[in-house]
Structure formats: structure tokens, C-alpha cells
A and B are shown apart, each in its own frame.
Chain A
Amino acid sequence: MSTIEATGLVKHYGEVKALDGLDLYVPEGTILGLLGPNGAGKTTAVNILTTLIRPTSGSATVAGADVVKQPGKVRKRIGLSGQFAAVDENLTGFENLDMIGRLYRLGRDNSRVRARELLERFDLTEAGDRPVKTYSGGMRRRLDLAGAIVAEPPVLFLDEPTTGLDPRSRTEMWGVIRDLVGKGTTLLLTTQYLEEADQLADDIVVIDHGRQIAHGTADELKAMIGGERIEVTVTSVDSVTGAAEILARFSGGDVQINERSRKLIAPMSGGSAEFRHVLRDLEEAGIAVYDVGMRRPTLDDVFLTLTGDVAESEPDSRAATVGV
């Protein structure tokens, strides 16, 4: 039996179907990445599994307890870190963790010891006795995450743990999360970034409009959408067709063309050698290129490939662009 099991979760808000029949299975000690754009239903799923809201229909168990019938039992076995660091700004880092320990009923002495321990582990010892008001965004997130594991729960829910963080804090956060799960915790993580799911999750479920649209490991998903992308912007609109022909030769025909911005995007699996060949062929054909680059597939590409729609989220712009 999986540690997290959800079948047919549906949540309606009036006319809006936030979830429309979602199934999730997370085996013990593994990480599931729930990937989707804003409004896909990720937070709704987390809220149901953490007993914050009731599903309209469907059922779920977390660590063996039913989320609707035994919410108290579920709460004893989970930790939650939400989308917005829900720490009290006026309390110090220590006071926040101490309070959460007390509310998990660890007792006064245990709560204090645990709070100090976590501050040290999350690199917040020095800031521990300052009000959280003075913390940076990354520090708040770390404190929030520390709050989720105060009682060492066997199941953790992290709702977009790195949204809004700068790249450095994000990488730090990934390290912290990996550490946690090394210890046998079962984790459900939501994210808008394919790269994040790739870095952390054993298994990825892609959702949109409250439904699963793909499921697999990071490698399986990438294979499904065709690995890296090459992006070419030509200087003249007249050479768009010529460039498209060249790209089609390498990508097996699958080229997206945007005439107005003179931009072409195609999947590319041959790495840098192939990249050089594309450049060479473009030059030989006398096509002047304004910008060209290789980048990893983003959530946008996943959505484009799986649904034919453009995802309504910010694109992950970690493109390695080469000016030509």
C-alpha cells in the first residue's frame, strides 16, 4: 500500500472544477513531483491531502488514515510547508519552531531542544533569536520548511517550496529537501518547474485543469517531449521558411514557427555536435541569424507537446543563449 493514496479526487468551487478526478499514489520513502501551471489544481490537491479542505468527491488516505474520516490522525503524521512561508513575522525563528513543537505536543523541553536543533540544521542559528521580519525570502522558506519537520512526520507536503526564490536560494533549498528525503520521508512536492521536479522527484505527475495529463519519471517525460530545444531567431522574415527546413532535418519535422517574431523552436537530441551542424547549415544556406541557443525543455514545452496549449505560467528562462 502506498503512503499517499488518492482516488478520483474532485473539488468544485461553484462552477469551477479545481480538481476533476485526480489519482495519486506515492510509495513509502519516495518523492512525487506534482507538476503544473498556476491554477492546475496542485494546491487544491495538497489542501485535501492535508485535511485543510474536503473533496467534493473521491477519497484519500495518508499514512493509513482517511483524510475525511480521520483528519486528526492524518495531522499527527504529516508536515506541511505552504506556498507562502507561513511563519509569524513578529516571532523569532526560535519562537516559531518552539510554538509549532508545542502544538505538535512534543512537550516544553523537547520543543526547545528540537527548535535549536532545526535552526542549526537549516543554517539559521545566528538569526534564530531575531524576529522573522528581518529574514530574507530564502531564510523564511527554510524556517517554514523546518516548521514542517518539527515533529519528524513520516509524510511531508511541500507546496511550491521554491517559487519566488532567487536561483541561489533555490539550489540551496533543493539540497535541504534532498537531505530530508534521504531519511525515509515520503514527500509530495508541487512545482511549476520541470527542472525542479527533475532534480528532486522519483516520479512526476503532470496536471492541468485538475486532471492528470502525463505520468512518468523525469527521463520518461523528457523522452516523451523530445529532450532539449533549439531556438533560432532569424534576421529576416524571408528566411524563416529556409531555416525551418534546416531545423526539420535535425528534429524529425517537428518545428514550431512564429513568423512575427521570426523565431523557430525545435526539439533536438544530438547535443552540441548537432547544434554546430545546424549553425553550419544555416550559414551555408546564407541565412542571417539574430540569435540562436539551446535550452532545456520547460513546462511550456511539456504543455505544448502534451496538450497543444501554451501553459499559463511564466516560462522557465534558464536558456543558454549563444549570440551569433
Chain B
Amino acid sequence: MNSLMWAALDSHVIAKRNVIKIRRVPEVLMFVLISPIMFVLLFAFVFGDSIEIPGGSYREFLIGGIFAQTVIFGATFTGAGLADDMQKGIIDRFRALPMSRSAVLVGRTASDVIYNVLSLIIMALTGLLVGWRIHEGFVSAAFGFALLLAFAYAFSWVMAYVGLIVPSVEVINNASFVVIFPLTFVANTFVPAENLPGALRTFAEWNPVSAVTQAARELFGNIPPGTPEPTVWPLQNPVLYTIIWIIVIIAIFAPLSVNRYRKAR
């Protein structure tokens, strides 16, 4: 067998280990599933009637944003999981084994997609209950979900890198909060980017979180007719812009993380 096949096999073994963990620690899963429900309900009912979206309903507008924010938060599990393994010495055990040097990270990022698949299903169901609908076809909607997952997957490589450099799980949980909240709020997730003032608006327009949100809305058919056309390229071509970000993030952070893993400390 060549080294690429070994890497795939090793990654599979690691992913399997992580999946067992998801099953054995249902508390984490509960939290992963309950918080998106909470977000959908809170935003739908608290802001639902006070934020106006020209030509459409805020609840339909909102869902794309909540999807994007939630899957990005879901990606932080990758960092927390790795930081935990580092702290407990499990990474050292892996590093002393004759296994592929990328498998721990590839297996981890892959298995963490499960969290996001589950939370997307739960959010979609909750969304349907509060009045969200898919107006495009099934294929288009499926592509929308895939794009959200792919973006979160790419982001989990960023978190993997962070997870390997922080001293503890607590640090990564707090740090990711500080980074991800601005990243997902200074965007078109909860209000249209055009409503934001000056520099914030520019940031939001070029923020990849806005693009993935915009792409999801388009693919779900949640952009009401009569909505003004976006004026910046990323939001005019959200799918392409998102795919570019996915490729760039992985191209930078996958090698960076693997390199860090090889050296660890």
C-alpha cells in the first residue's frame, strides 16, 4: 500500500474513535443540538417582527444566517477536541506511533462534520416549524447545505491549528467566542449588510461568512423578489467567493496544522 492509502486508513481509525466518543458523551451532542434550536427560536420570535426585510419575511432571511453561524461554531469542536487530546497526552501517544502524520487531523476534522450535519438537520426542522421554506428545488437546497458544511469543514482546519497551539481547552473555548462572534455578527447573517455603517459595512461585504450566508439564501430561494442587488462582487458571486475561501483556507491551514502536529511543542 502506498502512503496515501495508509494515511486514509489511519484517518479512518481516528475518525472512528471520535465517532465512538460522540456516542459515549451524549451531553456534548445534546448541547450541539439544543443551542441551534434555541437560536432559531430566539431570533425568530424576539427579532422576527421588529426587523424589516424589504419584500420578504425576516424569518426566512434569518435562517441562512443562523445556519452559517451555527456551523462555524460547530467547527470549534475540532480545536477543543485536539486541545483536550494534547492536554491528556493522547497526541503524544499518537505521535510516537508509526502512523501517518496527517491522520490525527484529517480524521478529526472529518468526524467533526457529523456535529454539523446533525445540527443542520435539527435547525432545518425547527426552521420549517417557524415558517422557513425552501423555494428552490431539492438539488439546489442540497447544494446549499453542502456549501455550508464545506465552509465549516475548512474553518475547522483553522480551529485545528488553534487547538494545537493553545495551552488548554478552556482557552480555546473562550478565544473562539471572541473571534467568532464578531466574525458572524459583522456580516449579513442577522441584518442586511447594507444596513451597517461605514467600515463595518465594508468588512461585512467582504466577510466570507456573508458570502456563505448569501449563497445559502440564494440556493434555498430565500431572497425575496425586489431585494436590491448587492453592489459588491463577493455578494454578487457568493457561491464562487465561498468556494475560493474554502480552497484558500484549507490550502493554508491544513499544511500549517500538520506541520505543527509534527513538531507539537
**A binding-site residues for B, Cβ under 8 Å:** 47, 50-53, 72, 75-76, 78, 80, 82-84, 86-91, 95, 99-100, 102-105, 131, 147
Known: A91-B17, A95-B17. A103 touches B25 (CB 8 A): no
B93 touching A147, Cβ below 8 Å: yes
B89 touching A84, Cβ below 8 Å: yes
What are 24 residue pairs bridging A and B, where the CB atoms are less than 8 Å apart in the complex? Answer: A50-B96, A51-B95, A52-B92, A53-B265, A72-B98, A75-B96, A75-B97, A75-B98, A76-B98, A78-B96, A80-B92, A84-B89, A86-B88, A86-B89, A88-B21, A90-B24, A99-B13, A99-B16, A99-B17, A100-B93, A100-B97, A102-B9, A103-B103, A105-B6
A75 CA to B10 CA, complexed, in Å: 15
B92 touching A82, Cβ below 8 Å: yes
List of 6 A-B pairs having minimum Cβ-Cβ separation, nearest first: A86-B89, A75-B98, A86-B93, A103-B99, A76-B98, A90-B24
Report chain A residues within 8 Å CB of B95: 51-52
A107 to chain B, nearest CB (A): 10
A12 to chain B, nearest CB (A): 13
Among A51, A82, A105, A131, the residue within 8 A (CB) of B93 is A82
Chain B positions 1 through 14: 1 when the CB is less than 8 Å from some CB of chain A, otherwise 0:
00000100110010
Query: Which chain B residues in 27-60 approach chain A with CB under 8 Å?
Result: none
B6 touching A82, Cβ below 8 Å: no
A91 CA to B17 CA, complexed, in Å: 7
Q: Is B115 an interface residue (CB 8 A)?
A: no
Beyond the given A88-B17, A90-B25, please list 20 additional residue pairs across the A-B interface where CB-CB is below 8 A: A47-B92, A52-B265, A53-B265, A72-B98, A75-B97, A76-B98, A82-B92, A82-B93, A84-B89, A90-B21, A91-B24, A95-B17, A95-B20, A99-B13, A99-B16, A99-B17, A102-B10, A104-B98, A104-B99, A105-B98
Q: Is B90 an interface residue (CB 8 A)?
A: yes
Report chain B residues within 8 Å CB of A95: 17, 20
Report chain A residues within 8 Å CB of B241: none
Report chain B residues within 8 Å CB of A131: 24
Specify which of A103, A131, A147 lies most central, judged by the most chain B CB atoms within 10 Å of its CB: A103
Q: Is B143 an interface residue (CB 8 A)?
A: no
A104 CA to B89 CA, complexed, in Å: 18
**B binding-site residues for A, Cβ under 8 Å:** 6, 9-10, 13, 16-17, 20-21, 24-25, 88-90, 92-99, 103, 264-265
A129 to chain B, nearest CB (A): 12
Number of A-B contacts (CB under 8 A): 68
Report chain B residues within 8 Å CB of A76: 98
A63 CA to B110 CA, complexed, in Å: 35
A86 CA to B89 CA, complexed, in Å: 5
A72 CA to B98 CA, complexed, in Å: 6
Report chain B residues within 8 Å CB of A105: 6, 98-99
Residue of A nearest to B12 (CB): A102
Report chain A residues within 8 Å CB of B93: 80, 82, 86, 100, 147
Residue of A nearest to B13 (CB): A102
Report chain A residues within 8 Å CB of B88: 84, 86, 89
B42 to chain A, nearest CB (A): 32
B96 touching A51, Cβ below 8 Å: yes
A47 CA to B91 CA, complexed, in Å: 13
Specify which of A53, A86, A147 lies most central, judged by the most chain B CB atoms within 10 Å of its CB: A86
A299 CA to B164 CA, complexed, in Å: 36
A90 touching B20, Cβ below 8 Å: yes
A131 to chain B, nearest CB (A): 6
Report chain B residues within 8 Å CB of A50: 96
A82 CA to B93 CA, complexed, in Å: 8
A239 CA to B204 CA, complexed, in Å: 84
A103 touching B10, Cβ below 8 Å: yes
Residue of B nearest to A84 (CB): B89
B1 to chain A, nearest CB (A): 9
A99 CA to B99 CA, complexed, in Å: 11
A104 CA to B97 CA, complexed, in Å: 7
A87 CA to B92 CA, complexed, in Å: 11
B96 touching A80, Cβ below 8 Å: yes
A102 CA to B89 CA, complexed, in Å: 19
Report chain A residues within 8 Å CB of B92: 47, 52, 80, 82, 86
Report chain B residues within 8 Å CB of A100: 93, 97
A88 touching B96, Cβ below 8 Å: no
Residue of B nearest to A157 (CB): B96
A94 to chain B, nearest CB (A): 11
Residue of B nearest to A144 (CB): B93
Report chain B residues within 8 Å CB of A82: 89, 92-93
Report chain B residues within 8 Å CB of A103: 10, 13, 94, 97-99, 103
A131 CA to B20 CA, complexed, in Å: 11
B260 to chain A, nearest CB (A): 14
A100 CA to B17 CA, complexed, in Å: 11
